[in-house]
Amino acid sequence: MVLGLSQESGISGPNRIAFARESYFCKKHYLQMPMFPARPLILASKSPRRRQLLTEAGFSFTVHSLDVDESFPPDMPATEVAGYLARRKALAGKHLIKDREIIISADSVVILNGQIFNKPETYDEAYSMISQLAGNQHTVVTGVCLLGSEQERSFSEHTEVFFEDLSPEEIKYYIEQYQPYDKAGAYGVQEWIGHCKIRRIEGTYTNVMGLPVHRLYAELQYFK
């Protein structure tokens, strides 16, 4: 579905970022997608999973990755953190917006019993997170911010995820095989653990992967 891919790297300057830019063109889709604003989209995310979802859904877009401080106020309710961070990421790129461009930013958090599970830094931390998720229900919240020069739209989407039990051998296998250190909650829904050990979700799969595409599609209609 990706008909063209162009790359620029190392662009720097006051209005540019010092990371690679990648453009994903789905010209055929772009021209025909109904009820869709004919405006350039910028995905402000390093996540290959968000890129994959937008591509599968037939969007054309450019990726600009920005480094943003991901701390949040300690007293903030867990369900509000993803929206807060998504908005911060979009605002960090606000000065990059040209003409009719729209920035798309997102942040996902895994919440179990009111506690946020971030990206694990060590094997033991990953092991601890997965062993707590095993046999339990948790919530994935993805916050999204759409930012154009004339308006901002922010929203959060919740999905309930139900894990099967996992044996110590299974947790060890998953961490060693998949190295989930770049993933909130220490798991990727599209990997072995997601396919073999999630028994039910209530909500959308794309939200668990990191971008609630159906909400994104609906909200983009408000940009004319």
Cβ neighbour number for residue 75 with a 10 Å cutoff: 5
Name residues whose C-beta falls within 8 Å of residue 213's C-beta, 6 or more positions apart in sequence.
53, 54, 57, 204, 206
Q: How many CA atoms lie within 13 A of 107 on its CB side?
A: 27
| Least CB distance to a second copy at residue 224 (A) | 17
| Least CB distance to a second copy at residue 61 (A) | 14
Give whichever of 84 and 163 is closer to a second copy, judged by the CB atom: 163
Q: 107, 124, 165, 182: which one is catalytic?
A: 107
| Least CB distance to a second copy at residue 31 (A) | 10
**DSSP per residue, 56-86:** HTT--EEEE---------TTS-HHHHHHHHH
| Least CB distance to a second copy at residue 63 (A) | 18
Give whichever of 100 and 172 is closer to a second copy, judged by the CB atom: 172
Look at the block and give the residue holding tokens 């579905």. Answer: 1
Give whichever of 164 and 182 is closer to a second copy, judged by the CB atom: 164
| Chain residues that interact with a second copy, rule: CB under 8 A | 28-29, 32-35, 53, 56-58, 164, 167, 169-170, 172-173, 176-177, 189-192, 195-206, 213-214, 217-218
The one-letter code for the residue type at 148 is: G
| Least CB distance to a second copy at residue 70 (A) | 26
Annotation marks residue 124 as catalytic: no
Give whichever of 11 and 31 is closer to a second copy, judged by the CB atom: 31
d(CA 71, CA 221): 31
d(CA 52, CA 166): 28
Q: How many CA atoms lie within 13 A of 217 on its CB side?
A: 16
Give whichever of 97 and 104 is closer to a second copy, judged by the CB atom: 104
Containing H/E element for 130? helix 123-133
Active site residues: 107
